[in-house]
Amino acid sequence: MTDLTLVIGNKNYSSWSLRPWLYLKHFDIPFNEVLIPLYSDGYKEKILQYSPSGKVPYLKDGELGVWDSLAIMEYLAEKYPEKKGWPEDLKVRAMARSVSAEMHSGFFALRENMPMNCRKVFEVFVPPENAMKDVERIKDVWSKNRREYCLKGPWIFGEFSIADCMYAPVVMRFHTYSIELNELEKDYIQTMRSHPAIKEWLAASNEETEIIITSEIKVAP
């Protein structure tokens, strides 16, 4: 029995939903899940029954509602401090917050040109120049921090943190669009894709039948 309900979109496509879902699963926090297929008939009204923003993800904790993926994880990190959502060290925590905020407020070309589509793999895909800049910046974030914190664990800052949840959808995108990676980046993708929760998410994505056409049509240039 739990008071927590997470409202999410399609697992195949909803990148923002994946973030707090992974957080809850990774830290074994029990929750109910409500999935509203995005862009299906009446989907907006259904979301608005929960979230004033009209967007997913949305977390209901009893009478309290929290929306926006990062705000939800911040709330969960405070509600369950023993789960350590952020790195313990002040400086590492500042870096984890910086890369999380950078992801939350940027990378628009990547989002636009490489939508999350967990089921799909485009074997030949050359991102447009502006999206490629985003890809390179993300690879820098992963490689630099993986080098620095590798002794502490396999995640961006060693131990699993909110930063990994923020970048999980990019892992899916890099796989879908067959982005060239160095060994450190490949290891990170492998770590994320072998996480039991991610395997569960991917298996559920494969079972979904809804198609969001704007996330499907990508022609390799």
Ligand X SMILES: N[C@@H](CCC(=O)N[C@@H](CS)C(=O)NCC(=O)O)C(=O)O
Report if residue 60 touches ligand X, rule: CB under 6 A. no
Closest CB to ligand X among 190 and 214?
Answer: 214
Report if residue 15 touches ligand X, rule: CB under 6 A. yes
Stretch that binds ligand X, among 52-60, 152-160, 173-181, 209-217 (CB under 6 A): 52-60
Residue from 6, 7, 11, 16 binding ligand X (CB under 6 A)? 16
Report, in Å, the least distance between residue 73 CB and ligand X. 10
List of long-range contacts for 120-126, beta carbons under 8 Å, 24+ apart = 120/176, 120/216, 121/175, 121/176, 121/178, 122/176, 122/177, 122/178, 122/218, 122/220, 123/178, 124/178, 124/220, 125/177, 125/178, 125/218, 125/220, 126/220, 126/221
Cis-peptide into 57, omega within 30 deg = yes
Residue from 12, 14, 117, 215 binding ligand X (CB under 6 A)? 14
Report, in Å, the least distance between residue 68 CB and ligand X. 4
Closest CB to ligand X among 12 and 158?
Answer: 12
Cα–Cα nearest to 110, from 165, 170, 176 = 170
Residue from 55, 139, 173, 195 binding ligand X (CB under 6 A)? 55
Neighbour count for residue 105 (Cβ, 10 Å)? 9
Report, in Å, the least distance between residue 113 CB and ligand X. 16
Cα–Cα nearest to 56, from 41, 42, 72 = 72
The DSSP-derived string for 21-88 is HHHHHHTT---EEEE--TTSTTHHHHHHTT-TTS-S-EEEETTEEEESHHHHHHHHHHHSGGG-SS-S
Report if residue 57 touches ligand X, rule: CB under 6 A. yes
Report, in Å, the least distance between residue 202 CB and ligand X. 17
Closest CB to ligand X among 71 and 184?
Answer: 71
Report if residue 115 touches ligand X, rule: CB under 6 A. no
Stretch that binds ligand X, among 66-74, 93-101, 117-125, 148-156 (CB under 6 A): 66-74
Q: Interface residues with ligand X (CB under 6 A)?
A: 9, 14-17, 38, 44, 55-57, 68-70
